[in-house]
Structure formats: C-alpha cells, structure tokens
Structure 1
Amino acid sequence: MRPAVDDHAAVASGTGSSGAAALPLVPIILVVLVLDAFITLALEVLYLPAYLGTTAFPVTGVLAGLVNVLLVLGARSVSTRTAAMFLPLGAWTFGFLVCASTGPGGDIMLASDWRTVLLLFCGLVPPLVFVYLRVNSGLFKR
C-alpha cells in the first residue's frame, strides 16, 4: 500500500515523469506570456483613443486589467515563484513607459489625458492586487 501513496504524492507534487517532461517548457511559456504582454499593450494603446459617436470610449483601459490578471494567472499556473508572476507585468509596464516617451521624431503614442491614466491604473492595479492576495492568502484565513 505504501508505493501507491508515494506514486500519488509524486503526481500531486509534479515530480513524476510528466512533471520532468514539462520542466523545459516553463521558460518558453514565460517568454510567450511576456511577448503576449507586449502585444496586448500595443493593441490597448492602438484602440485607447477610440470614440463611440462623439464620446471617448476607452474600453481597452478597462480590458487591460482583465488581460493582465489573466497573464499573471497564466504565469502562476506555470511557476509558483512570485518573480515569475511579475514578468508579464514588468513587460507591460516597460512597454507602457516606452509608449509614453517621445519617439525619434518627437511623436508620442499616449496623450497626456485621463485615458492614459485609466490605462495605467486599470492595467496595473488589478493584477497587483491579485498577486498580493495570492502571496498573502495565509494572512486572510485567520
């Protein structure tokens, strides 16, 4: 009966034969999540100045929070390290800062208005709250 318990523990902890085969895929998946953060930021910046009639409709600012939480959740499903969960957020933040700075011709992709602040706020706060709650989940169970 003891080997069955040990086999079940090895499968549950991810140290079985399938866990060893998936180990080389972890860095590749994290790189794909980082690239996905850059791609989603480019789409969010592209559609940020969208209008619905004559009213500004920055739906990508709100969607940025949901997408970044999903990216962090994807990184967490691959690796339990907190630093790995911050990789997509770091890439998204770096891309945001690049888009907020001036280009070689003096042009800028993000305007200095409330939509840019909404994109920054909604793109960073929900995933940071998610990471905080995941890391400190033991504090709230008392």
Structure 2
Amino acid sequence: MTSATDDKIGADPATRSTALVERVLGSVLIAVLVLVAVIALIVEVLYLPLYIGGVAVPVTAILAAPVNLALVWAAGTVTSRLSVLFLPIAAWLAAFLVAASSGPGGDIPLRSDLGTLLLFLCGAVVPLIYMYVLANRPKPART
C-alpha cells in the first residue's frame, strides 16, 4: 500500500513476510474503517433530531466532522493513496444517500432541514478539505 512496503517485497524472505502482514493488516484496517463510517452515520442519523428542552440541537452533525476526520487520518496511517483515504468517506456518503431516500414503508430517516444540511457539510466537506490539504502538501525532497 505504501512505497516502503512495496520496497520490502523484493528483499529477503523475513522482510517479505513482514511486508505481507503489513499489507493484510492494512487492508483489514481499511475495511474496519469503512464499517465504522457506516455505523457512525447510522448513529448520527438516529440522534440528529435530538431536542434539549424544546429546541432542536444537531449535536451529532457537529460531531460528524471530527469522527470522519479521524477515519481519514486512521486510513492515512496505512497508506498515502488518496483513493484509499476516500473509502471511509465514500461509505459514509453512500449510507447518507440511503438514509436520505425513502425506504420500503415510505419512511425517510433524513428530513429536508437545516440539521441534515449541517450533517452533510460537517460529515463530508471537512474530511474532503483535509484530503485536499494532504494532496497539495509539498512533498519532502528525497536524498
């Protein structure tokens, strides 16, 4: 997944087996992060219409930003490829679209209101800005 891991594949057998374990564990971590992104969206959607007293407070919409940012950061510990970093956010967005569409009984978990817009902006735009900054960061010179 990373160039350091790819460089180890042509080395001695002990280093190759370590590189293989790193690749497998990296793939498992990415799969777990995708699953966590979907579970996080489910919890965020369930608690989005939270009322404190008589006032609607979209707390989970605000919490979606650091949670999704942490998912992208955790994926960045395994790889630097942007397509792989995007996988947890892609799963979150797919689950968001499913929650925004009507189900078999005609129920729509996400309403068309300010809380849903805030959930989308915090949950999608903040990690995408982080990925944009990572993609445009100057690379250190190799010696």
What is the TM-score with the length of structure 2 in the denominator? 0.84
For residues 19 and 132 of structure 1, the distance between their equivalents in structure 2, rounded to whole angstroms, comes to: 28
Instruction: Name the amino acid aligned to 2:99.
Output: C
2:46 is the counterpart of 1:46: yes
Partner SS state of residue 102, structure 2 = coil
Mapped to 1, the partners of 2:20 and 2:34 lie a distance apart of 23
Match of 1:5 in 2: none
Distance 1:19 1:57 in 2: 47
Residue-pair matches, total: 127
Q: CA deviation at 1:51?
A: 0.7
Listed as ranges, the gaps of 5+ residues in structure 1 are 1-12
Q: Cα deviation per residue 1:48-107 (whole Å; 9 max; x = unaligned)?
A: 000111111111001101100000001111111110100000000000000000001111
Structure 2 equivalent of residue 68 of structure 1: 68
Letter of the 1:124 counterpart: A
The whole-number CA distance in structure 1 between the counterparts of 2:103 and 2:47 is 19
Q: By percentage of residues, which structure has more helix?
A: 1
1:113 aligns with 2:113: yes
Residue 98 of structure 2 aligns with an amino acid whose one-letter code is V
Structure 2: runs of 5 or more not aligned: none
Post-superposition CA distance 1:100-120 (Å, at most 9, x none): 000011111011111000000
* Same amino acid, percent of matched pairs: 46
Determine the C-alpha separation between the residues in 2 that align with 1:51 and 1:39.
22
Alignment TM-score, normalising by the size of structure 1: 0.84
The correspondence of residues 1-142 of structure 1 with structure 2, limited to 5 A, is 13-14=4-5, 15=8, 17=15, 18-138=18-138
What does residue 9 of structure 1 align with? none
